Structure 1
């Protein structure tokens, strides 16, 4: 029988109405089959690991990511797949982080959640949970169909480190702006194998040391030197710079001087676009040629979530400035298109 481990971290999916107060409270996910009787028809061997206390996803951090990754690593040989129930607000960050921590992953790690609590009549929770379990259990020729970290939400499966949350009101909460979906749930489950990562030949390696000493510089017309230098002259070791269009910034001398000063001080600067779709192309226009010349790193088409977690991951390894800079511009887990 297919064995799946459900890891419940918290989030809307696990909430029910308190009959006394009417407030939303978490239910005991160890009794999940009582709340979702349809699970019995899947004929899977399901175990549940619940966080105690459960977490609002806004409180997620690298220590919790490391705990999640360790649970998966420690139980890796016992289960065929893993389903993580998680609040949607930071789900893309967690999925991206796990993709980097779980090197050589060959089993499915499917994150899902819901926009309405599982106890609501119109909830999306049951469909998301049941289909996420089906995806985690699917094999072809004895191997997992999806050997990567992904997010399932509203009938679509996304590569985790390509996903963003874009809507807080609709069931269609996630998108993958720069990469096709991996699967789609209709009358049948349709997997798009051309876009799914290949099975690795090496065993799983857990790499869970993260360095969070990162600043974020989001550009806007009228940004001033004090705002910029509050970041560039701070004690951070790296800066994610959200720029215009295909990686463009102001060419004001004070601005480029501030970036150059930061790079000479040993800070990594990664350029990603504020546009959700498209990629950074340093040097395409005059406004980004100077950035390329001074050593700003291109984030290509990475999401903000993938850029942040990838930087944290690489900075947590015993790597030189040059090695981190080079790896940021390479695809490690399918997070960017060069």
Structure 2
């Protein structure tokens, strides 16, 4: 579309704490009226953009976020893509990193900002973080350079920092600094000045028309290794014929016990066509298969090298590639390739 003089931002409310305000008479929480956004948050008038809003017919707690909701979000963005210059998705914090990761894969050739944000406290509370998160997310979504959106990827904004969405994980349930991006720096920091690190923004060589992918295959699972794990537990997951992909959360730099029963179960599962991704349990750092003896056997099986991808992004990427029908022979190579900046 022709870029308008004033950026048009679409606010999409899915649910969560940020969409609640407190009735000071009863103390109860009630839904915030986004139709009167400018009346209730007059500071937004200082942002040079036109704000429109849509909401899920039945807003949900983010713990109930599921594939149908991801598809609804992706379709909403696709349907309104030509009419808006940026999108801000209001989302509960508990599964925000999962949704940000999923949308990054579902929206191929994205050339506009999609920024997820939320809050730890309701928007009307005295010490709320909701207003700052909302206002700055809209401001970031409206940023342009040479007449085009500055940010062109799925991001997550929380407590003064803009992150690449598929690099984030929730790390705290009580602090306002609820999210971290352990293996990739913040794309922007909001202080006295709004500083965007342009060199960190996603700018793929291949560009094209937006493609919205909604075929996500959720026949996947997570197997977290722990000392003393019973063989039957691993076997139950790895032998399940309905599971097509598995995120294996290993120790340290991708290490696992060298017990023969575990290696045999993993090797047999891969032999049956299961795609198993080696991801570290650590908050930060990378899988380095083969660096230690306890990971050499995993490399030989061979498992997919998840390097520094988060578990959230690994799960979303498995769903995306399985849904896309990627051939068995090329699946490992494609997974180990960064598609949306999700891994180094």
User: In which range does the TM-score fall when normalised by the shorter chain?
Assistant: over 0.9
Task: Determine if the alignment matches structure 1 residue 259 to structure 2 residue 266.
Answer: yes
Matched with 2:3 is none
Give the secondary-structure state (helix, strand or coil) at the position aligned to 1:77.
helix
Using the TM superposition, give the Cα deviation of residue 55 of structure 1 relative to its aligned residue in structure 2, in angstroms. Answer: 0.8
**What TM-score results when the alignment is normalised by the length of structure 1?**
0.97
Among candidates 201, 209, 219, match of residue 213 of structure 1? 219
Using the TM superposition, give the Cα deviation of residue 195 of structure 1 relative to its aligned residue in structure 2, in angstroms. Answer: 0.7
Using the TM superposition, give the Cα deviation of residue 141 of structure 1 relative to its aligned residue in structure 2, in angstroms. Answer: 1.0
Matched with 2:200 is 195
Partners of 1:43 and 1:206 lie apart in 2 by 29
Partners of 1:320 and 1:18 lie apart in 2 by 55
| Counterpart contact for 1:113–1:153, Cα < 8 Å | yes
Question: Once the two structures are superposed, what CA deviation does each residue of 1:29-86 show, in whole Å capped at 9, x if it has no partner?
Answer: 2222222121122242111001111110011111111111111111111111000010
| Counterpart contact for 1:30–1:50, Cα < 8 Å | no
Q: Which runs of 4+ in 1 moved over 4 A?
A: none
Using the TM superposition, give the Cα deviation of residue 256 of structure 1 relative to its aligned residue in structure 2, in angstroms. Answer: 0.5
Partners of 1:198 and 1:294 lie apart in 2 by 34
Matched with 1:156 is 161
Task: Determine if the alignment matches structure 1 residue 116 to structure 2 residue 117.
Answer: no
Matched with 2:9 is 4
Among candidates 270, 274, 291, match of residue 298 of structure 2? 291
Partners of 2:343 and 2:208 lie apart in 1 by 22
Matched with 2:183 is 178
Matched with 1:310 is 317
Partners of 1:174 and 1:329 lie apart in 2 by 25
Partners of 2:213 and 2:199 lie apart in 1 by 27
Matched with 1:92 is 97
Question: Once the two structures are superposed, what CA deviation does each residue of 1:270-319 show, in whole Å capped at 9, x if it has no partner?
Answer: 10000111111111111111111111111100001000000000000122
Using the TM superposition, give the Cα deviation of residue 20 of structure 1 relative to its aligned residue in structure 2, in angstroms. Answer: 5.1
**What TM-score results when the alignment is normalised by the length of structure 2?**
0.96
Partners of 1:245 and 1:153 lie apart in 2 by 28
Partners of 1:42 and 1:263 lie apart in 2 by 52
Partners of 1:87 and 1:48 lie apart in 2 by 17
Number of residues of Structure 1 aligned to a counterpart in Structure 2? 337
Task: Determine if the alignment matches structure 1 residue 276 to structure 2 residue 283.
Answer: yes
Question: Once the two structures are superposed, what CA deviation does each residue of 1:159-215 show, in whole Å capped at 9, x if it has no partner?
Answer: 000011101101111100000110001111101111101165311111121000012
Among candidates 217, 220, 224, match of residue 230 of structure 2? 224
Partners of 1:226 and 1:9 lie apart in 2 by 39
Give the secondary-structure state (helix, strand or coil) at the position aligned to 1:131.
helix
Give the secondary-structure state (helix, strand or coil) at the position aligned to 2:81.
coil
Matched with 1:144 is 149
Task: Determine if the alignment matches structure 1 residue 31 to structure 2 residue 36.
Answer: yes
| Counterpart contact for 1:157–1:182, Cα < 8 Å | yes
Structure 1 range deviating more: 313-322 or 23-32: 23-32
Using the TM superposition, give the Cα deviation of residue 19 of structure 1 relative to its aligned residue in structure 2, in angstroms. Answer: 4.4
Matched with 1:247 is 254
Partners of 1:31 and 1:239 lie apart in 2 by 45
Gaps of 5+ in 2: 1-5
CA RMSD of aligned residues (A): 1.1
Matched with 1:41 is 46
Give the secondary-structure state (helix, strand or coil) at the position aligned to 2:313.
helix
Give the secondary-structure state (helix, strand or coil) at the position aligned to 1:105.
coil
Partners of 2:171 and 2:125 lie apart in 1 by 23
